[in-house]
Amino acid sequence: MGDGMSLNPIETAVLLIEFQNDFTTDGGTLHSAVADVMKRTGMLDNAVAAAEQARQAGATIIHAPISFAKGYGEISPKPYGILAGVVASNAFVKDSWGARIVAGLTPAAGDIIVEGKRGLDTFMSTNLDFILRSRGIRNVALGGFLTNCCVESTMRTAYEKGFNVFTLTDCVAATSQEEHDNAIANDFPMFSHPVTSKEFVASLGARGETATDASRGCPT
């Protein structure tokens, strides 16, 4: 990265948020809403490449899918906002094709799948914080859907929890280019280091190498 930051892969995780068929793939219930921004940014191909390269460098790859039992009994019977849209489109139903992680990012051996995501912030209803701290993770890089929703919500909490947060600007997508660009320009810099996937991967040093920037490392 521009400031010469070097990250220890052993202390680094790439968090892939909702790379599921309902978002990523033709026929997915929400794909048409994000397809344009996905195409413009090339975010799926970028995420696939970044995950593989980070994995090879020794970083932890964490998948954060969202899913609901048929009927959405886990959430309010009268959802509003973004969750109302999920229910109306019958998206992310547990064990369905739409809820499945896209083939290009099928979890590899050694990857971790976060359990229990039912809302926007990946930390809120899952075991993510336990996983990160148990593994001694200090640096967390985020990619996925939506730029200004689940990615941003997770970014803010990771920042508040003291992690060194990176947002992969070419590995995210929203329902409009305007919302996507606004989040990256105005929100991401407040709570993370916004970087491209190539910049992030280039910052990963050899296994066991000490990171030179721990300005917001995981607190003791």
Q: What pLDDT is recorded for position 207? A: 55
Burial tier of 152 (Cβ tally within 10 Å: 0-12, 13-18, 19+)? buried
Banded model confidence at residue 220, pLDDT cuts 50, 70, 90: very low
Average pLDDT over residues 91-118: 97
pLDDT tens for each residue of 11-32: 999 999 999 999 999 999 999 9
Q: What pLDDT is recorded for position 209? A: 45
State the DSSP string of 129-168: HHHHHHTT--EEEEEEE-TTTHHHHHHHHHHHTT-EEEEE
Q: What pLDDT is recorded for position 3? A: 55
pLDDT tens for each residue of 35-45: 999 999 999 99
Sequence-ordered list of residues with C-beta below 8 angstroms from that of 126, at least 6 positions apart, any chain: 64, 114, 115, 116, 117
State the DSSP string of 171-211: EEE-SSHHHHHHIIIIIHHHHSEEE-HHHHHHHB-STTPPP
pLDDT at 205 over 70: yes
Q: What pLDDT is recorded for position 206? A: 53
pLDDT tens for each residue of 134-156: 999 999 999 999 999 999 999 99
For residues 58 and 10, the answer to whether their CB atoms sit within 8 Å is yes
pTM equals 0.91
Percent of the chain with pLDDT over 70: 91
Q: What pLDDT is recorded for position 1? A: 59
Q: What pLDDT is recorded for position 5? A: 75
pLDDT tens for each residue of 171-192: 999 999 999 999 999 999 999 9
Dihedral pair phi/psi, residue 91, rounded to 5°: -95, 155
Cα gap 86→99, rounded to integer Å? 12
Structure tokens at 194: 């916004």
